[in-house]
Amino acid sequence: MRGTSSDNPVLALLGANALTLVFALALDWTAGMLLWPYCLQNLVVGWYAIKRMQALHRFSTEGFTSNDQPVPENAAGKRSTINFFILHFGLFHLAYLVFLCELAPMSGLLEFLFVLAGGVSFVFAQRATCAAQIEADASGRPNLGALMFMPYLRVLPIHIAIGFGAVALGTTGTIAFVVLKTLADIGLDRYDRHIAERAIADA
């Protein structure tokens, strides 16, 4: 998250995604196969985004509206935002899971274990990240709307991959998806850092 000046999260993200691509090409995984753990990871991100919003005590809703009305900076505003996010983000991924079951079904136990391992490992990683985010939020006044919209950055690679048929493009589709995923990961990191800086400035 926000470490020392020697930290380089962009290089770390590039390295992790490059390693994913190497394994995917070596094992002849399709983009569809990579979409499964990524979709599961998105659900983990969504779960911890809810935890993060629930933990907020001081927050801003500047520029954040619902039904053309400003969202109030109180418990009711936070609760309605979380409820909307659960419904909307959940329906998005339910639709993606339906598409994946039809377009890229898992072919056996090994692929299922790969997806499950990816999801479980991400839970532990994201739990630590969420704890750091909550601690950082407590020292500032983050924007509730920005926190709610942030997980949607991770939806874009899935949306584009399915919409443009990357699951059926073989190696080309796999490479294209990993590139999109890398850009989304970097964007999410930059956006989260921007939120943290704004939250401290507005405190």
Q: How far apart are CA 57 and CA 140, in angstroms?
A: 10
Name the least confident of 46-50, 72-76, 93-97: 93-97
Residues 17, 181 contacting (CB under 8 angstroms): yes
Q: Write down the pLDDT at residue 165.
A: 63
Q: Write down the pLDDT at residue 9.
A: 65
pLDDT in tens, 83-136: 999 999 999 889 888 888 887 777 778 778 877 877 777 787 778 778 888 888
Total-model pTM: 0.80
Residue 2 above 60 pLDDT? Answer: no
Q: Write down the pLDDT at residue 117.
A: 77
pLDDT in tens, 145-200: 999 998 888 888 777 777 666 666 677 777 888 888 888 878 877 777 777 777 66
Give the mean pLDDT of 77-82: 96
Give the mean pLDDT of 35-52: 88
Between residues 68 and 11, the one the model is more confident about: 68
Q: Phi then psi for 67, rounded to 5 degrees?
A: 55, 40
The answer for residues whose C-beta is within 8 angstroms of residue 38's C-beta and 6 or more apart is 154, 157, 158, 181
Q: How far apart are CA 139 and CA 148, in angstroms?
A: 19
